[in-house]
Amino acid sequence: MTAELPPGLALQKVDERIMTLNVGPQHPGSGHMRIVVQIDGDYIVACDPDPGYVHRGEEKMAEYRNYITNIPHLERPVIHDSCNVLYPYVLGAEEILGIEVSERAKYVRVIASELNRCIYTMYWLAIYGIFLGHSTMFMWPAGDRELLIDLMEKMTGARVTHAHFVPGGVRNDLPPNFEDVCLRQVNYFEKRIKEYAAVFYDNPILISRTRDTGVLSRQDAIRLGTTGSVLRASGVDYDLRVKEPYDVYDELDVHTNVMKEGDSYARSRVPWLDMMESCNIIRQALQKMPKSGSVRTKLKPNPKTKGPETVYKRVESGRGSLGCYIVSDGKPEPYRVKMSVGSFRNLIALPYLLKGEKLGNMPSVYWSLNYWPVEADR
């Protein structure tokens, strides 16, 4: 090899041709996170993710507010999936405070959760499109998600951060005629996202950049502890809405989307299929939901537990398993709140998947892991 190089450029050692690149933390392809990659020519030989650039201290702040006033700030790590990020905390608070939730409130939660899941996924899909240079797949999801944002605004009074889930149910009941509007919007939304197949998922450019890149085997997906769409794209049939149903998910028919390839293409396709399943879940919930009744259990000011208690609850968020561990010492404020988020668990797979890949494939592999930096740092 050295004989073919011009004089003066001969490399005596392999290490001399290894270059270290810092991608981020203010780079649109890293998402407020630094990715340190070592490359040999065009190939990545090592990757070291460096999260922590958007740390908010959410878990520590939860120790200084009561179970109700914690709601608005705990949704901040994932503002575009605020219902799901609040869900496990609210379920845990209800158990630890001994609060009963009405049947109608549970259905309202499921509807809001699935709407928010789609809103989050459309944002993720828009960013994925622009990462791959597919500007149409930035504009389409960014526009179509407005259909569901309008529904969430009707439901909660806010377009992005809703603070809608509270211990005891939801903040307010559905507005008049919401069921009819929701059904109409969801049906049209489902029709729209089915059109993504032709323009995006059957696109030869997307296929060439994602098929057989960043392959994560079933065994490695389990061994590394991945979750959500990353886990299901590697052939593992696991969804908490089915395996550990909460609220009224056990009364609904939920289909789990699984692919066996484990590559970036499969990881990009599973969330898209999940959105269509969310539409199916919303239709079922609208049909089965009680037409009247309370949606919130009234609580005393500064509710507190009877004594020391601990509880752990988890739900299926847009990024996968999202758990919340609450420790109480009997005071109105929780003694400790700890969150286990899917983003951080999926990030563990990044160094394994990027090793041996071309540098140009880094964005498609990285974003296919359904990673949200603010949630991981929280």
Query: What domains, with CATH codes, occur in the chain?
Result: 71-302 (1.10.645.10)
CA dist., res. 231 & res. 234, Å (int) = 5
CA dist., res. 348 & res. 371, Å (int) = 10
Q: What is the DSSP letter of 296?
A: B
The pLDDT score that the predictor gives to residue 5 is 42
On whether the CB atoms of residues 157 and 220 are closer than 8 A, the answer is: no
The pLDDT score that the predictor gives to residue 57 is 85
Three-state secondary-structure class, residue 147: helix
The pLDDT score that the predictor gives to residue 28 is 54
Residue 356 Rama label (left phi>0; alpha psi -120 to 50; beta): left
The pLDDT score that the predictor gives to residue 31 is 61
The pLDDT score that the predictor gives to residue 33 is 82
The pLDDT score that the predictor gives to residue 160 is 86
User: Going residue by residue through the chain (378 aa), what tens digit of pLDDT does each one get?
Assistant: 334 544 544 445 556 678 888 887 766 555 678 889 988 888 888 899 888 888 778 889 999 999 999 999 999 888 888 999 999 999 999 999 889 999 999 999 999 999 999 999 999 999 898 888 888 988 999 999 999 999 999 999 898 889 999 999 999 999 999 999 999 999 999 999 999 999 999 988 889 889 999 999 999 999 999 999 999 999 999 999 999 999 999 999 999 999 999 999 999 999 999 999 999 999 999 999 998 889 998 888 888 887 788 999 999 998 999 999 999 988 889 999 999 998 889 999 999 999 888 888 888 998 899 888 888 887
Using N-to-C axis directions, what is the helix angle for 136-156 and 103-131, rounded to 10°? 160
Query: Would the pTM count as exceeding 0.85?
Result: yes
Sheet with strand 34-40: strands edge to edge: 18-23, 34-40, 43-50
